Amino acid sequence: MRAPLVDGHGRRINDLRVSVTDRCNFRCQYCMPAEGLTWLDRDDVLRFEEIERLVRLLAEMGIDSVRLTGGEPLVRRDFPALAGMLAAIPQLTDLSVTTNGFLLERDAAALVAAGVQRFNVSIDSLQRDRFFEMTRRDALPRVLAGLHALASQPGVGKVKINAVALRGYTEDEVLPFARFAREHPFEVRFIEFMPLDADQAWTPGSVLSGEEIRAIVGREFPLEEEEREPSATARTYRFVDGTPGRLGFIDPVSHPFCSDCNRIRLTADGKLRTCLFSLGETDLRTPLRAGATDDELEAVLREAVWRKELKHRVNEKGFQQPARSMSAIGG
Protein backbone atom coordinates (compact mmCIF):
# COMPACT_ATOMS: atom_id res chain seq x y z
CA MET A 1 0.00 0.00 0.00
CA ARG A 2 0.98 3.61 -0.57
CA ALA A 3 0.32 6.68 1.54
CA PRO A 4 -3.25 8.03 1.41
CA LEU A 5 -4.10 10.63 -1.23
CA VAL A 6 -4.72 14.00 0.42
CA ASP A 7 -5.28 17.43 -1.12
CA GLY A 8 -3.87 20.76 -0.01
CA HIS A 9 -6.97 21.47 2.08
CA GLY A 10 -6.63 18.32 4.14
CA ARG A 11 -9.38 16.37 2.40
CA ARG A 12 -8.68 12.66 1.96
CA ILE A 13 -9.51 11.55 -1.58
CA ASN A 14 -11.10 8.13 -1.94
CA ASP A 15 -13.67 8.50 -4.74
CA LEU A 16 -12.83 8.28 -8.45
CA ARG A 17 -15.12 8.89 -11.44
CA VAL A 18 -13.83 7.26 -14.64
CA SER A 19 -15.18 8.28 -18.04
CA VAL A 20 -14.69 5.36 -20.42
CA THR A 21 -15.89 7.22 -23.52
CA ASP A 22 -17.06 10.67 -24.57
CA ARG A 23 -19.56 9.17 -27.03
CA CYS A 24 -23.27 9.05 -26.34
CA ASN A 25 -26.35 7.75 -28.13
CA PHE A 26 -28.59 10.50 -26.69
CA ARG A 27 -28.52 14.24 -27.38
CA CYS A 28 -29.88 15.67 -24.13
CA GLN A 29 -30.60 19.38 -24.38
CA TYR A 30 -28.74 20.23 -21.16
CA CYS A 31 -25.63 18.37 -22.32
CA MET A 32 -24.97 18.60 -26.06
CA PRO A 33 -26.28 20.05 -29.34
CA ALA A 34 -28.75 18.12 -31.50
CA GLU A 35 -26.03 17.35 -34.03
CA GLY A 36 -23.73 15.99 -31.32
CA LEU A 37 -20.09 16.85 -30.70
CA THR A 38 -16.76 16.00 -32.28
CA TRP A 39 -15.77 12.72 -30.67
CA LEU A 40 -12.28 11.81 -29.55
CA ASP A 41 -10.19 9.73 -31.94
CA ARG A 42 -10.19 6.13 -30.77
CA ASP A 43 -6.41 6.15 -30.30
CA ASP A 44 -6.79 9.03 -27.87
CA VAL A 45 -9.10 7.06 -25.58
CA LEU A 46 -7.51 5.07 -22.79
CA ARG A 47 -7.39 1.32 -23.37
CA PHE A 48 -8.87 -1.01 -20.77
CA GLU A 49 -5.43 -2.04 -19.57
CA GLU A 50 -4.44 1.62 -19.10
CA ILE A 51 -7.60 2.37 -17.12
CA GLU A 52 -7.04 -0.71 -14.97
CA ARG A 53 -3.44 0.28 -14.25
CA LEU A 54 -4.35 3.80 -13.17
CA VAL A 55 -7.27 2.63 -11.04
CA ARG A 56 -5.13 -0.06 -9.42
CA LEU A 57 -2.44 2.52 -8.61
CA LEU A 58 -5.00 4.93 -7.18
CA ALA A 59 -6.53 2.12 -5.16
CA GLU A 60 -3.13 1.59 -3.56
CA MET A 61 -3.31 5.28 -2.61
CA GLY A 62 -6.66 4.96 -0.87
CA ILE A 63 -9.27 5.14 -3.65
CA ASP A 64 -11.94 2.62 -2.66
CA SER A 65 -14.97 3.83 -4.63
CA VAL A 66 -15.09 3.97 -8.44
CA ARG A 67 -17.95 5.10 -10.66
CA LEU A 68 -17.81 4.36 -14.39
CA THR A 69 -19.36 7.01 -16.60
CA GLY A 70 -19.28 8.49 -20.10
CA GLY A 71 -20.58 9.88 -22.37
CA GLU A 72 -22.63 6.73 -22.24
CA PRO A 73 -20.40 3.95 -20.89
CA LEU A 74 -22.41 1.09 -22.34
CA VAL A 75 -21.57 2.18 -25.91
CA ARG A 76 -17.94 1.26 -25.18
CA ARG A 77 -17.33 -2.14 -26.77
CA ASP A 78 -16.93 -4.97 -24.23
CA PHE A 79 -17.63 -2.58 -21.36
CA PRO A 80 -18.62 -5.39 -18.92
CA ALA A 81 -15.11 -6.82 -19.36
CA LEU A 82 -13.62 -3.57 -18.04
CA ALA A 83 -16.03 -3.63 -15.10
CA GLY A 84 -14.80 -7.13 -14.29
CA MET A 85 -11.16 -6.04 -14.46
CA LEU A 86 -11.79 -3.24 -11.97
CA ALA A 87 -13.99 -5.33 -9.69
CA ALA A 88 -11.00 -7.65 -9.23
CA ILE A 89 -8.92 -4.87 -7.62
CA PRO A 90 -8.98 -5.91 -3.96
CA GLN A 91 -8.94 -2.42 -2.41
CA LEU A 92 -12.13 -1.35 -4.19
CA THR A 93 -15.20 -1.74 -2.02
CA ASP A 94 -17.67 0.05 -4.29
CA LEU A 95 -17.99 -0.16 -8.08
CA SER A 96 -20.89 1.63 -9.75
CA VAL A 97 -22.07 2.74 -13.18
CA THR A 98 -23.99 5.77 -14.43
CA THR A 99 -25.91 5.10 -17.65
CA ASN A 100 -28.76 6.47 -19.72
CA GLY A 101 -30.24 2.97 -19.70
CA PHE A 102 -30.69 2.57 -23.46
CA LEU A 103 -28.47 -0.55 -23.61
CA LEU A 104 -29.15 -1.71 -20.08
CA GLU A 105 -31.54 -4.52 -20.99
CA ARG A 106 -28.73 -6.00 -23.08
CA ASP A 107 -25.95 -5.57 -20.51
CA ALA A 108 -27.61 -5.71 -17.08
CA ALA A 109 -26.85 -9.37 -16.38
CA ALA A 110 -23.26 -9.10 -17.60
CA LEU A 111 -22.54 -5.99 -15.52
CA VAL A 112 -23.96 -7.45 -12.32
CA ALA A 113 -22.04 -10.68 -12.94
CA ALA A 114 -18.87 -8.63 -13.53
CA GLY A 115 -19.17 -7.11 -10.07
CA VAL A 116 -20.92 -3.76 -10.50
CA GLN A 117 -22.69 -3.11 -7.21
CA ARG A 118 -24.72 0.05 -7.82
CA PHE A 119 -26.32 1.77 -10.80
CA ASN A 120 -27.54 5.29 -11.55
CA VAL A 121 -29.91 5.50 -14.51
CA SER A 122 -30.56 8.94 -16.01
CA ILE A 123 -34.25 9.53 -16.76
CA ASP A 124 -35.50 13.11 -16.99
CA SER A 125 -39.18 12.35 -17.64
CA LEU A 126 -41.57 9.44 -17.23
CA GLN A 127 -43.70 10.76 -20.09
CA ARG A 128 -42.71 9.47 -23.51
CA ASP A 129 -43.22 12.71 -25.45
CA ARG A 130 -41.39 14.84 -22.90
CA PHE A 131 -38.57 12.30 -22.66
CA PHE A 132 -38.18 12.62 -26.43
CA GLU A 133 -38.22 16.40 -26.16
CA MET A 134 -35.35 16.38 -23.67
CA THR A 135 -33.16 13.58 -25.07
CA ARG A 136 -34.07 13.92 -28.76
CA ARG A 137 -34.54 10.14 -28.74
CA ASP A 138 -37.84 8.21 -28.55
CA ALA A 139 -36.38 5.74 -26.10
CA LEU A 140 -38.33 5.84 -22.82
CA PRO A 141 -39.94 2.35 -23.19
CA ARG A 142 -36.54 0.83 -23.88
CA VAL A 143 -34.94 2.62 -20.95
CA LEU A 144 -37.69 1.51 -18.56
CA ALA A 145 -37.37 -2.06 -19.83
CA GLY A 146 -33.66 -1.90 -19.06
CA LEU A 147 -34.34 -0.47 -15.63
CA HIS A 148 -36.68 -3.32 -14.73
CA ALA A 149 -34.33 -5.90 -16.26
CA LEU A 150 -31.64 -4.55 -13.96
CA ALA A 151 -33.89 -4.70 -10.90
CA SER A 152 -34.64 -8.36 -11.64
CA GLN A 153 -30.97 -9.41 -11.51
CA PRO A 154 -30.11 -11.58 -8.50
CA GLY A 155 -27.68 -9.79 -6.24
CA VAL A 156 -28.06 -6.35 -7.80
CA GLY A 157 -27.37 -3.52 -5.39
CA LYS A 158 -28.96 -0.10 -5.06
CA VAL A 159 -30.47 1.39 -8.24
CA LYS A 160 -31.05 5.13 -8.45
CA ILE A 161 -32.76 7.28 -11.05
CA ASN A 162 -31.17 10.65 -11.83
CA ALA A 163 -33.25 13.53 -13.18
CA VAL A 164 -31.66 16.87 -14.07
CA ALA A 165 -33.78 19.70 -12.65
CA LEU A 166 -34.43 22.47 -15.17
CA ARG A 167 -36.79 25.37 -14.61
CA GLY A 168 -39.71 25.33 -17.01
CA TYR A 169 -39.46 21.58 -17.54
CA THR A 170 -38.98 19.57 -14.36
CA GLU A 171 -41.83 21.15 -12.37
CA ASP A 172 -44.28 18.86 -14.19
CA GLU A 173 -42.09 15.80 -13.58
CA VAL A 174 -41.71 16.11 -9.82
CA LEU A 175 -44.91 14.46 -8.60
CA PRO A 176 -44.84 11.62 -11.16
CA PHE A 177 -41.30 10.85 -10.02
CA ALA A 178 -42.33 11.01 -6.36
CA ARG A 179 -45.11 8.52 -7.04
CA PHE A 180 -42.67 6.33 -8.96
CA ALA A 181 -40.30 6.32 -5.96
CA ARG A 182 -43.20 5.26 -3.70
CA GLU A 183 -44.21 2.38 -5.99
CA HIS A 184 -40.85 0.96 -7.15
CA PRO A 185 -37.57 -0.08 -5.49
CA PHE A 186 -35.62 2.88 -6.88
CA GLU A 187 -34.38 6.07 -5.24
CA VAL A 188 -35.20 9.05 -7.45
CA ARG A 189 -32.63 11.84 -7.30
CA PHE A 190 -33.02 15.37 -8.64
CA ILE A 191 -29.77 17.04 -9.71
CA GLU A 192 -29.64 20.79 -10.12
CA PHE A 193 -28.73 21.87 -13.66
CA MET A 194 -25.05 22.84 -13.67
CA PRO A 195 -23.06 25.05 -16.08
CA LEU A 196 -21.59 22.12 -18.02
CA ASP A 197 -23.73 22.25 -21.17
CA ALA A 198 -21.94 22.22 -24.53
CA ASP A 199 -23.96 25.20 -25.76
CA GLN A 200 -22.90 27.20 -22.67
CA ALA A 201 -26.44 28.51 -22.44
CA TRP A 202 -26.69 27.92 -18.68
CA THR A 203 -27.94 30.76 -16.51
CA PRO A 204 -28.74 30.82 -12.78
CA GLY A 205 -32.39 31.28 -13.73
CA SER A 206 -32.45 27.95 -15.55
CA VAL A 207 -31.83 26.05 -12.31
CA LEU A 208 -34.81 24.54 -10.52
CA SER A 209 -33.48 24.27 -6.99
CA GLY A 210 -33.79 21.28 -4.73
CA GLU A 211 -35.63 23.43 -2.21
CA GLU A 212 -38.31 24.25 -4.78
CA ILE A 213 -38.70 20.59 -5.72
CA ARG A 214 -39.01 19.54 -2.08
CA ALA A 215 -41.76 22.12 -1.65
CA ILE A 216 -43.68 20.69 -4.63
CA VAL A 217 -43.40 17.15 -3.28
CA GLY A 218 -44.13 18.16 0.29
CA ARG A 219 -47.53 19.60 -0.55
CA GLU A 220 -48.71 16.09 -1.48
CA PHE A 221 -46.21 13.79 0.21
CA PRO A 222 -44.57 15.27 3.32
CA LEU A 223 -40.87 14.43 3.54
CA GLU A 224 -38.40 13.89 6.37
CA GLU A 225 -34.67 14.37 5.84
CA GLU A 226 -32.29 11.54 6.67
CA GLU A 227 -28.83 12.03 8.14
CA ARG A 228 -26.26 12.93 5.48
CA GLU A 229 -23.20 10.72 5.28
CA PRO A 230 -19.84 12.56 5.15
CA SER A 231 -18.81 13.39 1.56
CA ALA A 232 -22.22 12.32 0.22
CA THR A 233 -23.35 14.34 -2.78
CA ALA A 234 -27.06 13.78 -2.12
CA ARG A 235 -29.35 14.74 0.72
CA THR A 236 -31.93 11.98 1.04
CA TYR A 237 -35.52 12.13 2.28
CA ARG A 238 -38.05 9.48 3.25
CA PHE A 239 -41.82 9.80 3.14
CA VAL A 240 -43.35 10.78 6.48
CA ASP A 241 -46.29 8.40 6.01
CA GLY A 242 -43.91 5.44 6.04
CA THR A 243 -44.34 4.47 2.40
CA PRO A 244 -41.17 2.76 1.16
CA GLY A 245 -39.06 4.78 -1.22
CA ARG A 246 -36.54 7.59 -1.10
CA LEU A 247 -35.97 10.88 -2.85
CA GLY A 248 -32.49 12.33 -3.16
CA PHE A 249 -31.42 15.89 -3.92
CA ILE A 250 -28.05 16.91 -5.32
CA ASP A 251 -27.90 20.70 -5.03
CA PRO A 252 -24.41 21.79 -6.14
CA VAL A 253 -25.62 25.23 -7.22
CA SER A 254 -27.87 26.26 -4.33
CA HIS A 255 -26.10 24.29 -1.58
CA PRO A 256 -22.52 23.41 -2.62
CA PHE A 257 -20.94 20.50 -0.79
CA CYS A 258 -17.33 21.30 -1.68
CA SER A 259 -16.02 21.44 1.88
CA ASP A 260 -15.81 17.66 2.24
CA CYS A 261 -15.46 16.75 -1.44
CA ASN A 262 -13.48 13.53 -1.77
CA ARG A 263 -13.68 13.07 -5.58
CA ILE A 264 -11.38 13.23 -8.56
CA ARG A 265 -12.14 12.41 -12.20
CA LEU A 266 -10.35 10.64 -15.01
CA THR A 267 -11.49 11.60 -18.51
CA ALA A 268 -11.73 9.14 -21.39
CA ASP A 269 -8.54 10.58 -22.92
CA GLY A 270 -6.53 10.19 -19.74
CA LYS A 271 -6.72 13.62 -18.10
CA LEU A 272 -7.09 13.97 -14.36
CA ARG A 273 -9.61 16.57 -13.21
CA THR A 274 -9.80 17.50 -9.55
CA CYS A 275 -13.19 19.23 -9.86
CA LEU A 276 -16.08 19.11 -12.31
CA PHE A 277 -15.39 22.78 -12.97
CA SER A 278 -11.60 22.61 -13.22
CA LEU A 279 -10.13 24.93 -15.84
CA GLY A 280 -6.95 22.86 -15.99
CA GLU A 281 -6.24 19.15 -16.30
CA THR A 282 -3.26 16.88 -15.66
CA ASP A 283 -2.20 14.63 -18.51
CA LEU A 284 -1.73 11.03 -17.42
CA ARG A 285 -1.97 9.37 -20.83
CA THR A 286 1.32 10.78 -22.13
CA PRO A 287 3.53 9.56 -19.27
CA LEU A 288 1.56 6.32 -19.13
CA ARG A 289 2.28 5.57 -22.79
CA ALA A 290 5.85 6.84 -22.52
CA GLY A 291 6.70 4.09 -20.05
CA ALA A 292 6.41 5.90 -16.72
CA THR A 293 6.78 3.72 -13.64
CA ASP A 294 4.06 3.52 -11.01
CA ASP A 295 6.20 5.66 -8.71
CA GLU A 296 6.52 8.33 -11.40
CA LEU A 297 2.77 8.27 -12.04
CA GLU A 298 2.15 8.48 -8.30
CA ALA A 299 4.23 11.66 -8.11
CA VAL A 300 2.19 13.25 -10.92
CA LEU A 301 -1.07 12.24 -9.25
CA ARG A 302 -0.08 13.55 -5.84
CA GLU A 303 1.02 16.91 -7.21
CA ALA A 304 -2.24 17.33 -9.12
CA VAL A 305 -4.45 16.30 -6.20
CA TRP A 306 -2.56 18.59 -3.83
CA ARG A 307 -3.75 21.50 -6.00
CA LYS A 308 -7.41 20.39 -5.88
CA GLU A 309 -9.75 23.37 -5.83
CA LEU A 310 -11.28 24.43 -2.52
CA LYS A 311 -14.67 25.05 -4.16
CA HIS A 312 -16.29 25.34 -7.59
CA ARG A 313 -17.14 29.10 -7.41
CA VAL A 314 -20.27 28.73 -9.59
CA ASN A 315 -22.08 31.40 -7.59
CA GLU A 316 -19.19 33.85 -7.51
CA LYS A 317 -18.52 36.82 -9.75
CA GLY A 318 -16.11 35.97 -12.53
CA PHE A 319 -16.96 32.25 -12.60
CA GLN A 320 -15.70 30.70 -15.84
CA GLN A 321 -17.39 27.64 -17.28
CA PRO A 322 -14.93 24.91 -18.29
CA ALA A 323 -14.42 24.32 -22.00
CA ARG A 324 -15.41 20.68 -21.74
CA SER A 325 -19.08 19.77 -21.38
CA MET A 326 -20.36 17.10 -19.00
CA SER A 327 -20.30 14.40 -21.68
CA ALA A 328 -16.58 15.00 -22.26
CA ILE A 329 -15.73 15.26 -18.55
CA GLY A 330 -17.64 12.29 -17.20
CA GLY A 331 -20.45 12.57 -14.67
Task: List the chain domain ranges.
Answer: 15-329
Helices (H) and strands (E) in the chain, counts: 10, 12
Residues of the chain with pLDDT under 70: 196-197, 316, 331
329 sits in the region (left: phi over 0; alpha: psi -120 to 50; else beta) called: alpha
Q: Which of 189, 206, 188 is nearest to 197 (CA)?
A: 206
Q: Where are the alpha helices (DSSP H) in 1-78?
A: 48-60
Name the pTM for this structure: 0.93
Give the model's pLDDT for residue 30: 84
Chain-centroid distance, C-alpha 143? 17
Q: Is the dihedral of CA 242, 244, 247, 248 positive or negative?
A: positive
Give the model's pLDDT for residue 316: 67
Architecture of domain 15-329: Alpha-Beta Barrel (3.20)
Cβ neighbourhood burial of 266 (10 Å; 0-12, 13-18, 19+): buried
CB 265 within 8 A of CB 17: yes
How far, in Å, are 8, 27, 133 from residue 126 at the CA level? 43, 17, 12
61-84 CB burial, b ≥16 within 10 A, e <16: bbbebbbbbbbbbbbbeebbebbb
Give the model's pLDDT for residue 256: 77
Residues 315, 204: Cα–Cα separation, whole Å: 8
Residues 235, 65: Cα–Cα separation, whole Å: 19
Q: What is the DSSP string of 228-271?
A: PPTT-S-EEEEETT--S-EEEEE-TTTS--GGG--EEEE-TTSE
Kind and range of the H or E run holding 149: helix 140-151
